Amino acid sequence: MSFSFIRRLPMRRSVLLFCLASSLTNWSVANGQEQQPVSVRRPSLETRDATEPTIDLERERLFNELAEEFAAFDRLGNLVRRVSKLVKPSVLHIEAHKTEERGGTRESYDEAGSGVVMRLENDELWVLTNRHVIQGAKPQEILLRASNGNEFHPERVLADSSTDVAVMKISQQSIPAARLGDSSLVDIGEFVIAIGSPFGLSHSVTFGILSAKGRRDLSLGEQKIELQDFFQTDAAINPGNSGGPLLNLRGEVIGLNTAIASSSGGSEGIGFAIPMNMAMKVAEQLVLNGRLRRGYLGVTLDPDFTVADIASAGYGLISGALVKEVRESSPAAAARLQRGDIIVEFNGKTVDNDDHLVTQVGMTSVGDSIPMIILREGKRYRTDVVLTDLK
């Protein structure tokens, strides 16, 4: 990788004054005027003595105001430093050795990423990361490096393709587990910290804000993630940050850094992270069941249906998902859903669109009775559905 830097040198003041003086001289000559010596008038001693104390006092006041503002800013910087120091030991650098067949030949390569250590079932230590970081590599082909330089391999690897979440079991009890935060309580505009290994530079720290929530229609190249509900952040995230933690200023993990939107391949201030509530639910299911037990409703939704369509039907400006088809013997059929129904609430939460409903259903526990609100023929109805397991 190569970097090029362009340094812009400011014009010196003496050069600028020289150019200005030359221009004035040339103008005088061009107008047939004789160049006269320029006299500089300096303030008298009395004037300088009268004004300088006032100027010094004003400068002192400005310096004091600046010091007060810096103290508040420095407290924020100190908070970032303390969070970074506290959480870094819980973040691991990941190198996965992979082999793929391309064009009839087998090619080997290494892929770098990050992971964060959490305590899951039976108080065991597991490393949370993205599936795409370790996909295709066996446990002995995955190298984990702690912040103290220790290297080891995971004992067990489990992954889910629908959410791009993976977990790896480790036995190194000396590595502290990170503290889990409640990602549902995070607001747009909050300060966040990302820790990872951008371009292989392990345990790098970046700082920014949470820019948006509920990003669900992302096209992630060949990587298809069906259940999307991403946080968006402007904290710099680059290749190699995948799987690393997104933190609040309390040092709690609120997200799992996953992807970037970039035309150059580097950070452009648009990064995406899986909310930690979602990532932990997937991780716990992987540890307990070996896979994610996704909820199944049994409907086909219209991806082109919008809020404007609901408004034109006379329901006002509300959001929802339009049912195009109800499958026979499905949970939706048992709940008496019909073609043309608009699902506006699921499990007490507003449905934004079809992608949002798919994610909500997929992340809902199987076997629970879930309330739904639907619109049908100008009226509002409530029904309950018991989701089954999507095999």
Residues catalogued as catalytic: 132, 164, 242
Q: How do strand 179-180 and strand 299-301 relate by DSSP bridges?
A: unpaired
Report the candidate in 163, 85, 80, 156 with the shortest Cα–Cα distance to residue 121.
Answer: 156
CA–CA separation, 341 and 375 (whole Å): 6
Q: What share of the chain is helix, strand, coil (3-state, %, to 5)?
A: 30, 35, 40
Which two three-digit tokens encode residue 269? 């201030």
What SS3 state is found at 235? Answer: coil
Residue with tokens 């990602």: 183
Computed on alpha carbons and rounded to an integer, the radius of gyration of the chain in Å comes to 30
DSSP 121: G
CA–CA separation, 342 and 321 (whole Å): 5
What SS3 state is found at 152? Answer: strand
CA–CA separation, 282 and 305 (whole Å): 29
Q: Could you tell me if 257 and 271 are in contact, meaning their C-beta atoms sit under 8 angstroms apart?
A: yes
Q: Could you tell me if 328 and 319 are in contact, meaning their C-beta atoms sit under 8 angstroms apart?
A: no
Residue with tokens 């819980």: 90
Q: Could you tell me if 192 and 235 are in contact, meaning their C-beta atoms sit under 8 angstroms apart?
A: yes
* Number of residues that make up the chain: 391
Query: 149 burial class (0-12, 13-18, 19+ CB within 10 angstroms)?
Result: exposed
What are the phi and psi torsion angles at 242 (to 5°)? -55, 130
**Nearest 10 degrees: CA dihedral of 301, 307, 312, 313?**
50
